[in-house]
Structure 1
Amino acid sequence: MQRYFVPAATWSEQTIKIIGDDVHHIKRVMRFKVGDQIICSHPDGHAAICKITILDNNVVYVDIVEWLDQNVELPVEVTIAQGLPKADKLEMIVQKGTELGASNFIPFQASRSVVKWDEKRQDKKLKRLSKIVKEASEQSHRNKVPMIYPNQSLSELIDLASSYDFKVFAYEEEAKTSEYHSLSSVLKQVGEQQRIFVCIGPEGGFTEAEAVSLKDNGFQAIRLGPRILRTETASLYALACISYHFEEMRCN
């Protein structure tokens, strides 16, 4: 059943008003009719099966039929901080990362980031990324839409991570040593409902100075397997490992 995330302001006790791009999707893409059912998700994570009652060019009204009691979110909160990569790699990272359960995405300007975001470019990019994570959340039936932060500096990133229970960063140099910390060894220490901050460098990885700064501020350097991963692969590898550890290994 098709799912739509609907702003809280348009919900009433029994009726929901849908506006914006979702109207076009409901009417023109999915070709729904009055009487058809969809799932509407509230920003607080609750969702309900709803029946379309009014289908207009600019607005759709639905009535709540049944509240759903399901939660597909990871049992831990995972934030992915991604050093700005080239081309459209960030779009793929947030799309697939949303499907894999990330709660937040924070792009940051690393020393080796080739891409630079000015203010005008940032507003356009954030709007595009927000649309991607909303659509990915609907497709994967997430309870909540991940948050996309504005572009940060490394020092701003460190401040944002200060309240997290576990902070790690993937460091290529760790993978070359025999005395390394694996992501698995960190996850064994994490309890449900705790928060994990995963920091991934851009194509060239972290500089030695960045690695020192992160370590000095409580980040643990880890390797993500024995091979060197592309930046667009690393965060997805980490999320897949976290999902397997907390969801698949604990399935009854």
Structure 2
Amino acid sequence: MQRYFISEDQVKNDHFIIQGDDYHHIVRVMRMEKGSELICVLSCNKTALCQIEQITNEHVIVRVVKWIDEQTELPIQIYIAHGLPKGDKLELVIQKGTELGAFSFIPFVAARSIVKWDEKKANKKLERWKKIAKEAAEQSHRGKIPDVHAPMTIHELVEFAKSADCRIFAYEEEAKQGNHQTLATIFRQMQRGQSLLAVFGPEGGFSDEEVELLKQHGFFSCSLGPRILRTETAPLYLLAAASYQFELQ
């Protein structure tokens, strides 16, 4: 059943008013009619089975049939901080990372980022990232759309990280030296409801200065197994490992 996220200004008592891109999807793509049912998710993480009552030229009005109790979010909040990679790799991380349960995405300008952040195109790029997260959240039946932040500097990132309960960065030197226990240890020590900020470098990895800065601000370096993963693969590996640890055991 199709799922749509609803903001507070779309709520009118026990009815929701849907317009914009979601209106187009309901009417033009899915070709729903009066009486069709769909799922609506409010920003407060409440989920409802709804039925279409009216379709106009600009909006769809749906009525709440019943509220649904869902538990689809990871028990811990994982922030994925990613050094800006080239091409559409970050879009892949946002899409698949959303499906795997990421709480938030934080791009940052790394020393070895090949791509340079263009402020002139910033709003358009950020809007696209947010749209990808929204569509992936709908597809995977999430109860929340992950936040996608505007790119930060590494110094802004370490300041932001102070609010997280745990802080790590994926470092290939740990893998080369066979140190594979850090991530598992951190997962075992974390409690449900806590937050983890995980940092991943771009294609060229971290500079020595970035490694030192992260360690100085309470980040633990960790490997993601004995193999060296691509920059777009590493965050997905971590999210899958977290799901196994907190949801499947």
Q: Show CA shifts across 1:81-118 (max 9, x none).
A: 01000000111100000000001000000000011112
Are 1:222 and 2:219 an aligned pair?
A: no
- Partners in 2 of 1:184 and 1:228 — Cα distance? 17
Which residue number in structure 2 is paired with residue 153 of structure 1?
A: 153
Question: Do the aligned partners of 1:23 and 1:57 also contact (CA within 8 Å) in 2?
Answer: no
Which residue number in structure 1 is paired with residue 47 of structure 2?
A: 47
- Partners in 2 of 1:139 and 1:121 — Cα distance? 27
- Partners in 1 of 2:239 and 2:122 — Cα distance? 25
Which residue number in structure 1 is paired with residue 142 of structure 2?
A: 142
Q: Give how far 1:32 is off.
A: 0.5
- Partners in 1 of 2:20 and 2:178 — Cα distance? 54
Which residue number in structure 1 is paired with residue 101 of structure 2?
A: 101
Which residue number in structure 1 is paired with residue 168 of structure 2?
A: 168
Q: Show CA shifts across 1:152-202 (max 9, x none).
A: 000000001001111000011111114454311211111110100000000
Counting aligned pairs with the same residue, the percent is 50
- Partners in 2 of 1:220 and 1:21 — Cα distance? 42
**What SS does the aligned partner of 1:228 have?**
coil
Runs of 4+ displaced beyond 6 Å: none
- Partners in 1 of 2:174 and 2:247 — Cα distance? 27
Question: Do the aligned partners of 2:104 and 2:148 also contact (CA within 8 Å) in 1?
Answer: yes
Q: Show CA shifts across 1:117-137 (max 9, x none).
A: 122222111000000000001
Which residue number in structure 2 is paired with residue 10 of structure 1?
A: 10
* Length-normalised TM-score, structure 2: 0.98
Higher deviation after alignment, 200-209 or 113-122? 113-122
Which residue number in structure 2 is paired with residue 202 of structure 1?
A: 202
Question: Do the aligned partners of 2:179 and 2:222 also contact (CA within 8 Å) in 1?
Answer: no
Q: Give how far 1:14 is off.
A: 1.1
Which residue number in structure 2 is paired with residue 186 of structure 1?
A: 186
Which residue number in structure 2 is paired with residue 70 of structure 1?
A: 70
**Aligned-residue RMSD, C-alpha:** 0.9
